[in-house]
Structure 1
Amino acid sequence: MASPLFAALLALLVAVSPAISTNPEGEALHSLRARLKDPRNVLQSWDPTLVNPCTWFHVTCDDRNRVIRLDLGNSNISGPLGPELGRLEHLQYLYIPPPPLELYRNNFEGKIPKELGNLKNLISMDLYDNRLEGEIPKSFAHLKSLRFLRLNNNRLTGSIPRELAKLTNLKVFDASNNDLCGTIPIDGPFATFPYQSFDNNRRLNGPELQGLVPYDFGC
């Protein structure tokens, strides 16, 4: 017969096991879920008691069970993006389509977390068609692997950070249909982006937009 001490220890282990079994990436994603409204229940499989989040819908892992893709595009999710996303250090694709961070066509609001600049392996980030506001984080300059950055159709303000000109791998950039201001960088990859990438920002000016906007309203 088990001793009272052994029974007490067993009960304690059972009580804390959910916290032990969840890995840091699962904890980060569950923290994100807690701040969001999810009317379609697309996140119902995000169970924090599992060993890792690789069995959750909309999450893709590599062969080492590390989260490399988060795809929540067009899911009618609303709420603020949180800094916990910056803890997914192996993330390659953030969609929000090629695999990215896909968070597009939702109702995400508030500022873009500067912690997304920690995602050094990120190849693609799609945040278009949301309600995001504030400035484009300068920390995005740390995303040296980034090839696709789509921020169009939001409520972003401020200037385009000149630090983004250091992103030599950036092939696609779209910040159209926001309220950006100032001038468009002309260095690095910005020398190749078409004017449509910056269209419908009435206070934005630069060489690619000369003749298309009557005034430079400044920033």
Structure 2
Amino acid sequence: METSQLFNVLAIFLLSDPFAVVNANSEGDALFAFRRAVKDPNNVLESWDPTLVDPCTWFHITCDDDKRVTRLDLGHAKLSGHLVPELGRLQRLQFLELYKNDLMGPIPKELGELKNLLSLGLYQNNLTGSIPATLSNLSNIKFLRLNSNKLTGRIPRELTKLGNLKILDLSNNDLCGTFPTYGSFSKFSQESFKNNPRLKGPELMGFVRYDTGESCK
């Protein structure tokens, strides 16, 4: 194909969907920011090549027909390092599965921008800090599993408005205060909160009990 013909084909593609390449590059940049933030001893991220037009050919990534990222599946990949706020740019992401790794540091509040998220699986890592209240913006989420980390602080009461939540597991952390038993949390037993030594018991709607003093600092 001559150079002029190739240029015309590319021009038609860009005019037909002017945001396709921009979105793909933005999501690729976000994912590559995560790659830079982690150590990957088994080279499971070797295919993540930032020079490609979009990340849909990378292993452990699933995209929709518009070449937008919908799944990130990296459970049990022996990754260590940190989550990055750039992950909040993956606006069509439905599944963020990073369980059973050695991820450290806080959960970025920007994950609350993933409005299409159905499942957040961060369990069995070494995450620290508090649970971001911004996760209450994940109105479509069905599976929220943050168990077996080193999370501290109170359970955000805002999370009780997540009406689609089917599975909740906050067990085996160091959360404190009391745990809600109203709103969407009313369907979950104490198993969802077990092995948090500083949690003092249920908090009922209309009888809000906050612990004071050193127990929740």
Identify whether the pair has TM-score above 0.5, normalized to the shorter chain. Answer: yes
Residue in structure 1 matched with residue 133 of structure 2 by the alignment: 138
Residue identity matched to 1:41: N
Describe the superposition over 1:74-119 as per-residue Cα deviations: whole angstroms up to 9, x where unpaired: 000000101010011110011xxxxxxx100000000000000000
Give 1:92-111 correspondences, 5 Å limit: 92-94=94-96, 102-111=97-106
Matched residue SS, 2:199: strand
Structure 1 gap segments, 5+ residues each: 1-18, 95-101, 209-215
Cα pair distance change 1:20/1:138, threshold 3 Å? closer
Within the alignment, does 1:53 sit opposite 2:59 as a pair? no
* 1:20-75 alpha-carbon deviations (Å, 9 max, x no partner): 89610001101110111000000000000111000000000011110000001000
The 3 A distance-change label for structure 1 pair 27 and 187 is same
Matches within 5 A, 1:188-207: 188-207=183-202
| 2:39 matches 1:37 | yes
Tell me how far 1:185 sits from its aligned partner.
Answer: 1.0
1:57–1:138 distance in 2 versus 1, CA, 3 Å = same
Q: Contact between 2:24 and 2:68, CA under 8 Å: does it hold in 1?
A: no
The structural deviation recorded for 1:206 is 2.3
Aligned length: 187
Q: Compared with structure 1, are the counterparts of its residues 157 and 42 closer, same or farther at alpha carbon in structure 2 (3 Å cutoff)?
A: same
Is the counterpart of residue 77 in structure 1 residue 79 in structure 2?
Answer: yes
On the 8 A contact 2:142/2:166 being kept in 1, the answer is: yes
What letter matches 1:206 in structure 2? G
- Alpha carbons 1:132, 1:154 under 8 Å: kept: yes
Contact 2:120 2:145 in 1 (8 A): yes
Instruction: Note the 1:1-219 alignment, pairs <5 A.
Output: 23-94=25-96, 102-207=97-202, 218-219=215-216
* CA distance 1:20–1:200, shift in 2 (3 Å): closer
Per the TM alignment, residue 161 of structure 1 is displaced from its structure 2 partner at its CA by 0.2
Alpha-carbon deviations, 1:170-189, whole Å to 9, x = none?
Answer: 11110100000001112211
**Other structure's SS at 1:136 match:** coil
Name whichever of 185-194 and 106-115 sits farther off. Answer: 185-194
SS in 1 for 2:75: coil
Give the distance between the partners of 1:144 and 1:22, measured in 2 at CA.
25
In 1, distance between residues paired with 2:55 and 2:22?
A: 14
Q: Is the 8 A contact 1:22 1:50 kept in 2?
A: no
Question: How many percent identity over aligned positions?
Answer: 62
RMSD: 1.8
Q: 2: CA distance between counterparts of 1:188 and 1:85? A: 28
For structure 2, which runs of at least 5 residues remain unmatched after alignment? Answer: 1-20, 204-210
